[in-house]
Structure 1
Amino acid sequence: MRSYTPNSPQAAARVVAMALLADGHLSMTELHAVDPLKVTRCLGLDASHFADVLEGFCQDLLVSHRGPWTGSSQLDEHIRLELLHEITHPEIQQQVMNMCAALIQSDGHVADNEMLMLDALAGAWPHRMATKDLRTTAPASLGVH
C-alpha cells in the first residue's frame, strides 16, 4: 500500500475509499452521495484528486490482496490499522467517521462488511463516536459539512 502524509487529505480520502469498498463493490448510489454530502470539499480535495485516491486504493488492493475479494473490511488487520493510524488528529477522525457512516448509509442499507468497517474505525479511533450510534443516526444528522 502506498503511504500518505499523516492527516493529509489523501490519507483521509483513502479511509473514505475503504468505506466505499467495504462490502466488496463500489455502489453507484454511495458514489453519487459524495457530492451532496460535500465529501471532497470536507476532505480538501477536488473531485479528480478524490478519484485518484480511490483508484490508487483499488490498485493497491489488487496488488496486495490474496484470496477471494470480499471487500476492504476484510483487509489484513495490520494493513488496515496502518492506514487508519495515518489519521491521528481527533477532529479529522471524527469528520472521516461521519463521512464514512453517511456514505455507507446513503443507499439505505448497511451490509455486514460495512458494519465491520465502521467497527474497525471505532476500534482504531475509540474516542470517536461509537458505531452503535452510527447505526441509529440518519446520514443528514451526522454533521458532515
Structure 2
Amino acid sequence: MPGVPDVTPSEAFAALQGDPGAVLVDVRTDAEWNFVGVPDLSALGKQVVLIPWQVFPSMQVNDHFPEHLRRAGVTAESKVYYICRSGARSLAAGQAAQLAGFPHAINVRDGFEGPVDAEGHRGTVGGWKAEGLPWRQR
C-alpha cells in the first residue's frame, strides 16, 4: 500500500472541482461541524460527507467508519479527500479506509482550521478557512 498522500486544501478543492467522482469526507465530530463550520461544496454541485472518525464525547474510534463510507456512496474507485481540524485524524481515517478497501485516500494537510497561531487561535495560518475556501455554519 502506497500510503496516504497529503494535499493542501486548495489542491483538494481544485481536485473536487475537476473530478465529478471525487468526494470530500469531513471526519471531525458533530460538535465541531455545528460550532466551527463545514466546507461548502455547493458551488461544485456537491455536498461534503460528514462521518466522524472518533465519536464525541468518548473520542473512541468509530468502528463503523468503512460501513458509513459505503452507505454514503463511496466506492473503491472513488478518490476520497479526508479532512479534520488539523490533518491528524483525517490521515488516520484515510489509512483505515485504505485497509478497508478504499485505496484512493488523500489527506487534506492542515485540515479545516490548521495549526494554532502565535495567540493560540486556529483558522488563520493554515487550513481550509485560512486559504479562503468556501465554508458555512451548519
Higher strand proportion (structure 1 or 2) = 2
Higher relative contact order (CA 8 A, sep 6+): 1
User: What is the TM-score of this pair, normalised by structure 2?
Assistant: 0.35
User: What is the TM-score of this pair, normalised by structure 1?
Assistant: 0.34
Higher helix proportion (structure 1 or 2) = 1
